[in-house]
A and B are shown apart, each in its own frame.
Chain A
Amino acid sequence: QKEVEQNSGPLSVPEGAIASLNCTYSDRGSQSFFWYRQYSGKSPELIMFIYSNGDKEDGRFTAQLNKASQYVSLLIRDSQPSDSATYLCAVNPPTGNQFYFGTGTSLTVIP
């Protein structure tokens, strides 16, 4: 079982819609969770991190964490064509030094 799993997509949403990206992780003791955005040919860029169960909002982005279900999601409201990218979920388990990344979900926002 992979440490972090994401649906690779591609996910397509119309401009202005809500994009929902999902991620599951295997280490139940994990405490820190991150979402990165990666444009083609570029490096990952941190969007948000979340440590506690519930929702965390930052502008158009909302991260949701459910530790009981080992599930992290990212909602993008009012999606824009510039949001078209690959979104990477990352988890930092408590017992290791690594940050495990999912394979990413490709999002396309259609104008």
Chain B
Amino acid sequence: NAGVMQNPRHLVRRRGQEARLRCSPMKGHSHVYWYRQLPEEGLKFMVYLQKENIIDESGMPKERFSAEFPKEGPSILRIQQVVRGDSAAYFCASSQSGGGSGNTIYFGEGSWLTVV
């Protein structure tokens, strides 16, 4: 499958636990974006990464959230000490090159996090 792959598709965590969401970009893409979508709301940008670099994390909450895109392996969005308000759909998208260059981004199927 050459599309953007996300896992897990559904994740249930108790308050205070950690959630790790993984994203493998489309083949040939080296730019990854993470978005969060709360129920009945729009997509909110979180972070933009290239391999081994965080380019723009202006949408990331200051605490408990982190992201990485190592040289080998998928990009990971990590949420520590989850709270109920973290329950949302987390979408990963990838592009061949970065913003401002006329590239399009393609989305994975999303990871639905439920905090109980």
Contacts and interface: CB of A to CB of B under 8 A. Distances in A.
A63 interface: no
Contacts of B110: 42-43
Given A43-B107, A43-B109, A44-B91, A99 B33 contact: yes
B97 to A, nearest CB: 10
B102 A97 contact: no
Contact-residue size bin, chain B (C-beta under 8 Å from the other chain)? 20 to 34
| Chain B interface, >50% SS class | loop
B107 A45 contact: yes
B56 interface: yes
Contacts, number: 66
Contacts of B43: 44, 88, 101
Interface in A42-100: 42-46, 49, 51, 88, 92-100
Most B C-beta atoms less than 10 A away, residue of A31, A43, A88: A43
Interface string A26-47: 0000011010100000111110
Interface of B: 33, 35, 41-43, 45, 48, 55-56, 58-59, 91, 93, 98-100, 102-110
